[in-house]
Amino acid sequence: MVLSLGLILTCPSRSRCNRATLRAYRAAPPICLNSEWRIRGGRGGGKIELDHSSGPGMSDVGADAKEQANRLCEAKGWSLGALLGKGGSAAVFEVTTEAGDTALKVFFPRFIEGREGAITRKRLEIVKDRLIGHACPTLVRIHAIDEFEGAPFMVMEHVAGSMLTDVLRLVPAPAVEGIVRQIAEAAKYLEDLGLTHRDIKSDNIMVDATLTKATLVDVGVARIIDDPVGSGTDDDGKLPFVATARYSSPEYMFRLAPPGPELWRALNFYQLGGLIHDLLCGEPLFEEVVRQAASNRYLIAYAVATDIPHVKPRNGVPDYLVNLAQRCLQKDLAPRLASVSWEDFFGRDRQRENEALLGIRGDRISSSGVRTLDVAELGRSIENSIDNRLMAKGLSCRHSTTVIHHTRVDIRIRWTPPKLPPDVEIEVLIDLSEIDGQLRITASSQLRPLSAKSFEAPVVAIASDAADLELSATNQVYDLFLEASAKLIGGSDAKNGGAAN
Ligand SMILES: Nc1ncnc2c1ncn2[C@@H]1O[C@H](COP(=O)(O)OP(=O)(O)OP(=O)(O)O)[C@@H](O)[C@H]1O
Ligand SMILES: [Mg+2]
């Protein structure tokens, strides 16, 4: 997790390369990526980790952690369960303690021995002092921090679900805004406690089975904001880089600003921008660069300094998030801080505010003040979501949305499930229409080239004033899409009256 940075690389003039960053980049002291540490190109994405080529392999380190967890659980009378995840410094296991189902974090040997061990312990002291019993619902709860056989360990809430990185392409568009808000709440909560997380990224976010509830985990490198050099926590004032390279703002990675409230808030905003990027683009920040960095480890630092990530709009996700991500991912700290505020993450839509200020017509507002249903927008979001879900399973489809009227859209999806010959397609037509404030969904399907087999799905009607309308509609339509497709491949209902020509 620690990198002493001071890269000298020639940086060709590029218009996208910010000048101040470029200057600092050129003026940085000679490289001191010391031989023990290097940027790894794996999924950790530029996490600064041990160079295992000169030490024990990752699996050995993991095995040590498991043995340690085993001995600890035996001594305490706890029951050790499955491995929940592994990061650059630790492994996390499911453990049943007196308190019930929890998560146990045990550190790899490198992080509990010698000088590194002392730093780990000091960081954990901060967490122990300030975060045990905290009240933030979107930040992992910490139950206990202690030592066993001279090694520190942490007992936490077991956050059920998946690591966000693993399900980025499955998150439905309507859930994106809520996930960003929840993680921003956790970051702001830490700031209000005088702490900063420093490592907000998709690997450190868990999402529940509905892909809507998010929790920020891994408070392992949290730091006190007002500590000028992070004595003990930042390697005794030598200010090595502590975070994940691909999600680090340039001023943080290249030490262009002194530690303090501005630096940490600007890093929070940058990393939240990275989160929006990941949710909109369906992959972690600088993914391609990290892949290439397997053969040239400096590429990540170069990208942090020079590459302005492209944040793609996503159907069904409010546009303001794209713009917010772009403001967050600005290379320079000053304009970033000047153009982003915490409220921006809590549903503040500057685009709409500005439109209203300028008298530009916004969405239709019903007399009750509730925004009326935009069926066309919903249709496109659902179309996109089904495509994403299939893509995540390695399948592709052809799809389109036709707006028949502002209250009615048809979504057409053509695809070939693995069970069908490649020249045969299923065409599913989903019709969404708003009738008296209710959303009505129907589906029909047929095999192509045209066969006698076709299927009419039942009508599914859902209320339009439900808070989670888009999400529940998306889930229902996906179910209906699968059902309508399955019926054509020998589903019994298709033969027994469910089918109609
Ligand atoms: N409380 C928890 N409940 C469930 N899973 C968890 C929990 N904490 C961590 N995990 C899983 O374990 C993985 C590793 O844990 P963690 O991020 O704390 O380790 P780390 O070594 O500090 O990571 P990093 O490489 O980010 O520094 C996480 O990415 C997550 O998938
Ligand atoms: Mg982690």
Q: Is the pLDDT of residue 289 over 90?
A: yes
Which DSSP helix (H) or strand (E) runs through 373?
none
Look at 408 and 467; give whichever has higher pLDDT: 408
Q: What is the pLDDT of residue 235?
A: 55
> Best substitution site from 218, 241, 275 to test ligand 1's pocket, by max atoms within 8 Å of Cβ?
218
Distance 218 CA to ligand 1 centre (A): 5
Ligand nearest to the CA of 167: 1
Q: Is the pLDDT of residue 57 over 70?
A: no
* Two tokens, residue 150: 């001279």
In the three-class reduction of DSSP (H, G, I as helix; E, B as strand; rest coil), residue 435 is classed as strand
Q: Is the pLDDT of residue 349 over 80?
A: no
Ligand nearest to the CA of 244: 1
When pLDDT is averaged across residues 486-497 and rounded to a whole number, the result is 55
Distance 163 CA to ligand 1 centre (A): 9
Look at 131 and 448; give whichever has higher pLDDT: 131
Q: Is the pLDDT of residue 107 over 80?
A: yes
**Residues 6+ positions from 11 with CB-CB distance below 8 Å:** 17, 22, 25, 26, 302, 305, 306
Bridge-based pairing of strands 142-148 and 100-107 is unpaired
Atom of ligand 1 lying closest to residue 156 CA: 1
Residue type, 216: L
Look at 258 and 73; give whichever has higher pLDDT: 73
Q: Is the pLDDT of residue 156 over 60?
A: yes
Whose CA is closest to atom 19 on ligand 1? 87
- 82: buried, middle or exposed (CB in 10 Å: 19+, 13-18, 0-12)? exposed
Q: Work out the pLDDT band at 240, boundaries 50, 70, 90.
A: low
When pLDDT is averaged across residues 80-92 and rounded to a whole number, the result is 93
Q: Is the pLDDT of residue 3 over 60?
A: no
Q: What is the pLDDT of residue 438?
A: 72
Q: Is the pLDDT of residue 21 over 70?
A: no
Residues whose Cβ atom is located within 5 A of ion ligand 2: 87, 204, 218
* Two tokens, residue 116: 């590194």
Distance 43 CA to ligand 2 centre (A): 11
Q: What is the pLDDT of residue 414?
A: 95
Look at 212 and 483; give whichever has higher pLDDT: 212
Q: What is the pLDDT of residue 461?
A: 66
Residues at CB less than 6 angstroms from ligand 1: 1, 44, 47, 84-90, 92, 103, 105, 140, 156-159, 163, 199, 203-204, 206, 217-218, 220
For the ranges 15-24, 200-209, 403-412, 462-471, the one whose mean pLDDT is highest: 200-209
Distance 103 CA to ligand 1 centre (A): 10
* Two tokens, residue 253: 């990675």
Q: What is the pLDDT of residues 205-224, one digit of tens each?
A: 999 999 999 999 999 889 99
Distance 185 CA to ligand 1 centre (A): 19
Q: Which of 102-116, 220-234, 264-278, 437-451 shows the lowest mean pLDDT across its residues?
A: 220-234
Q: Is the pLDDT of residue 154 over 60?
A: yes
> Best substitution site from 92, 102, 140, 153 to test ligand 1's pocket, by max atoms within 8 Å of Cβ?
92
Q: What is the pLDDT of residue 466?
A: 52
DSSP codes joined into one string, 452-472: S-EEEPPPEEEETT-TTHHHH
Q: What is the pLDDT of residue 113?
A: 87
Q: Work out the pLDDT band at 130, boundaries 50, 70, 90.
A: very high
Is 203:344 a contact under the CB 8 Å cutoff? no
Q: What is the pLDDT of residue 164?
A: 98
Q: Is the pLDDT of residue 55 over 80?
A: no
Q: What is the pLDDT of residues 401-457, one digit of tens each?
A: 998 887 889 999 999 998 888 889 999 999 988 876 677 888 899 988 877 778 887
* Two tokens, residue 363: 């969405």
- 96: buried, middle or exposed (CB in 10 Å: 19+, 13-18, 0-12)? middle
Q: What is the pLDDT of residue 26?
A: 38
Ligand nearest to the CA of 58: 1
In the three-class reduction of DSSP (H, G, I as helix; E, B as strand; rest coil), residue 197 is classed as coil
When pLDDT is averaged across residues 153-170 and rounded to a whole number, the result is 96
Distance 95 CA to ligand 1 centre (A): 14
Q: What is the pLDDT of residue 372?
A: 57
Q: What is the pLDDT of residue 435?
A: 76
